[in-house]
Structure 1
Amino acid sequence: MGRARVVRGGVAGAAAVLLLVAGCSSPSDGAGGRAATSPGSSAPPVSSPPVSSPAASTPPAAARVRVAGTLTEGLRSPWGVAELPGGDLLVSSRDERTVTRVDAGTGHRTSLGEVPGVVPGGEGGLMGLAVRGDRVYAYLTSASDNRIVRMRYGGGAGDRLGPPEPVLTGIPKGLVHNGGRIAFGPDGMLYAGTGETGRSRLAQDKGSLGGKILRMTPEGRPAPGNPFPGSVVWSYGHRNVQGLAWDDAGRLWASEFGQDTWDELNRIQPGRNYGWPTVEGRAGRTGFTDPVAQWPTAEASPSGIAYARGAIWMAGLRGERLWRIPLSGAERSGEPQALLKGEFGRLRTVLATAGGTRLWLVTSETDTRGTPGPGDDRILRLEITP
């Protein structure tokens, strides 16, 4: 893997490192549920801005990211991360089926317990997390499907998660392409990225929840304003969505695994068709929405994304790097930059804190695809400097 170094120790005492770095889709990192009503026809297509690979002749401007240290290490198959109101983090273990609270100052870990009903296997298990009030939401693989549940959590010392209550069921499951990211949008609705489980036809089937981005109320019902009446489907034609983030103007962005040619960053608009399996990457074809940025499959395998300081920050698994994609409104404003290339191995999740000056970055070497070293997996603290 060639990882050159690892920053160890607590955030307060770790050696700071200043990075000025310029610049996959991996071989894989039903219908039904409550949205069984057929959505009907798609919205009219729109033109997308020209897209190119980051391998351009003009080098990108340097970005400054200060690696301030390691918050915690020794995590097993970490996947989803959510921030509590006070700043502490909740982290899911995909394979161990547990949720752990991590003190954002000291890195001290407290187990909140195992989530009942999770059946790990392949790329499935306990994945995305989101917090709303006194509820923790989780995207998980069960014996029969992928589903979203919620659990009560008081947030006090010694509190544990309550029993899971189903929010949305019937998302197709498979050994691969289970999606798994969930997040609350600025509109208060719950969004979820799903995969087509290796059955590519599901991505174009608007009656299936596979290969989609979903939008629902916190109770799991179709959200007001959804493009297809009676459905939680927000967009379709996706292969495997694992990253969701909103910019300052409330625009939704999503990262997506390609197959053999292009991984994607997409600006998501309701009712749009993002092409899979008919097209991969930019096609310029009527009826499909092109990505804003794309990468050769060996350079990304994008999982989690975050928005901060005018850019999307995208964690790469097979690519083993953090991508920074500068934005200007709804378009890309410059070439993507590759940061931390090969430094910490596979990168699963990136989370921006309030104010957008810090990123939490989660590695993913213990997910059966990596080569774990001492201390893997870990949460890194990154400071964004002007």
Structure 2
Amino acid sequence: MLRTVADGLKTPWGLAPLPDGDLLVSSRDDGTITRIDTGSGRKTVLGEVSGVSPAGEGGLLGIALSPHYASDHMVYAYFTSASDNRIVRMLYDAKKPAGEQLGAPDTVFKGIPKGAIHNGGRIAFGPDGMLYAGTGESGERDLAQDRKSLGGKILRMTPEGEPAPGNPFPGSVVYTYGHRNVQGLAWDGRQRLFASEFGQDTWDELNAIAPGGNYGWPDAEGRSGDPRYHDPVAQWHTDDASPSGIAYAKGSVWMAALRGQRLWRVPLAGTHTSAAPQAFLTGDFGRLRTVVPAGGDRLWLVTSNTDGRGRPRRGDDRILELRVT
């Protein structure tokens, strides 16, 4: 099964399923969040997120619902401002008129380096209720190995933006380092975290994340065998992947590829592959940005052809629903 849920979207980036089955989608360049009725495809703009300063790969990026959304109705967003990348939360009031349903952003965390490239941007609440964020090194390679910098990291914090209990470096939100540009975060059925990462010219990566781990950039790209660095679970040539979002379903990580224009399935046995990765939808829908579990054997998939690097087709960009095995 594969169907188009909604089309005519501009620079969609983050996707957050609502408890009633509808979806929230962010627009990187417009700085808006839109609600999608997954039955009819009807779009309702909640509002514009104030403070977003889109440029290059930056803008309104990942979104996530509060772990207490049923009671607090908070939507979290990662965005590029005039000075940095930051995470905010906003009250969503569906009873207000369209365009006026988002409350003023409350800054949860700020000071993540920004750049024309490598802004990271994926956020997700883990099974532990903590907020995780993938950041990029903003084109400044050395930031990735600097544990005092927030660039080129996976961050872990409380919903209020404080260093999460049990973090590997006391008093720091840094969870792992040595990353180039992390845009995919997902947990498997045993609460193990995986992350996708853009390589430079040689190898893109899917990594199993260990607290305090060093993932090698800029000293290593792909498998190095160097005991100082964690080798990836799987790697791809950059033309075949350039991965953004990932999701876990049916025993595999599913990885959306931008330049590769395909959906990768990575079958897992623990934190190792159980078979060679398989490619699906190659070239069928162009660049793929985000993939999110839709329950059971279904996924939501977001295309990214209006981001300035794709070739938009009639109806782009779109959200797809597909069944996987």
TM-score calculated relative to the size of structure 1: 0.81
Secondary structure of 2:143's partner? helix
- Structure 2 counterpart of 1:93, from 20, 23, 27: 27
- Structure 1 counterpart of 2:142, from 201, 225, 233: 201
Partner of 2:107: 166
Cα drift, residue 156 of structure 1: 4.3
Secondary structure of 1:81's partner? strand
For 1:224 and 1:242, how far apart are their aligned partners in 2? 24
- Structure 2 counterpart of 1:140, from 79, 90, 95: 79
For 2:62 and 2:46, how far apart are their aligned partners in 1? 16
Counterpart of 1:362, as a letter, is V
Partner of 2:43: 109
Cα drift, residue 332 of structure 1: 0.9
Partner of 1:154: 93
For 1:262 and 1:158, how far apart are their aligned partners in 2? 47
For 2:42 and 2:150, how far apart are their aligned partners in 1? 38
Partner of 1:30: none
1:80 aligns with 2:14: yes
Secondary structure of 2:218's partner? coil
1:121 aligns with 2:55: yes
Deviations 1:312-338 (CA, angstroms, capped at 9, x unpaired): 000000000000000011211100000
1:379 aligns with 2:296: no
1:325 aligns with 2:266: yes
Query: Could you tell me the percent identity over the aligned residues?
Result: 68
For 2:137 and 2:256, how far apart are their aligned partners in 1? 21
Deviations 1:71-96 (CA, angstroms, capped at 9, x unpaired): 01000000000011111100000001
1:283 aligns with 2:224: yes
For 2:311 and 2:204, how far apart are their aligned partners in 1? 23
Structure 1: unaligned runs, 5 residues or longer = 1-65
Partner of 1:362: 302
For 1:156 and 1:259, how far apart are their aligned partners in 2? 46
- Structure 2 counterpart of 1:294, from 228, 235, 244: 235
- Structure 2 counterpart of 1:131, from 65, 74, 81: 65
1:337 aligns with 2:271: no
Counterpart of 1:138, as a letter, is A
Larger Rg: 1
Alignment coverage as a number of residue pairs: 318
Cα drift, residue 115 of structure 1: 0.5
For 2:323 and 2:192, how far apart are their aligned partners in 1? 24
Deviations 1:113-149 (CA, angstroms, capped at 9, x unpaired): 1100000000000000000111000000000000000
Counterpart of 2:274, as a letter, is S
Deviations 1:10-63 (CA, angstroms, capped at 9, x unpaired): xxxxxxxxxxxxxxxxxxxxxxxxxxxxxxxxxxxxxxxxxxxxxxxxxxxxxx
For 1:156 and 1:335, how far apart are their aligned partners in 2? 48
Counterpart of 2:189, as a letter, is D
For 1:242 and 1:370, how far apart are their aligned partners in 2? 18
1:215 aligns with 2:149: no
User: After superposition, where does 1:29-108 map in structure 2 within 5 Å?
Assistant: 66-67=1-2, 69-108=3-42
Cα drift, residue 157 of structure 1: 6.8
Cα drift, residue 265 of structure 1: 0.1
Most deviating of 188-197 and 99-108:
99-108
Secondary structure of 1:298's partner? helix
For 1:353 and 1:72, how far apart are their aligned partners in 2? 15
Cα drift, residue 158 of structure 1: 3.8
Counterpart of 1:196, as a letter, is E
For 2:218 and 2:75, how far apart are their aligned partners in 1? 34
Cα drift, residue 306 of structure 1: 0.3
Partner of 2:193: 252
Deviations 1:222-263 (CA, angstroms, capped at 9, x unpaired): 000000000000000000000000000000000000001000
Most deviating of 175-184 and 376-385:
376-385
For 2:268 and 2:83, how far apart are their aligned partners in 1? 40
Counterpart of 2:25, as a letter, is V
For 2:97 and 2:130, how far apart are their aligned partners in 1? 30
Counterpart of 2:195, as a letter, is A
Counterpart of 1:135, as a letter, is M
Larger RCO (alpha carbons 8 Å, 6+ apart): 1
Cα drift, residue 104 of structure 1: 1.6
Checking the alignment, whether the CA contact within 8 Å between 2:6 and 2:38 is kept in structure 1 is no
For 1:161 and 1:90, how far apart are their aligned partners in 2? 12
- Structure 2 counterpart of 1:179, from 120, 131, 137: 120
For 2:272 and 2:265, how far apart are their aligned partners in 1? 14
Partner of 1:270: 211
Counterpart of 2:226, as a letter, is R
Checking the alignment, whether the CA contact within 8 Å between 2:86 and 2:107 is kept in structure 1 is yes
Structure 2: unaligned runs, 5 residues or longer = none
Counterpart of 2:4, as a letter, is T
Cα drift, residue 384 of structure 1: 2.0
Gap change, CA 1:333 and 1:157, over 3 Å in 2: farther
Secondary structure of 2:283's partner? coil
**RMSD (CA atoms):** 0.9
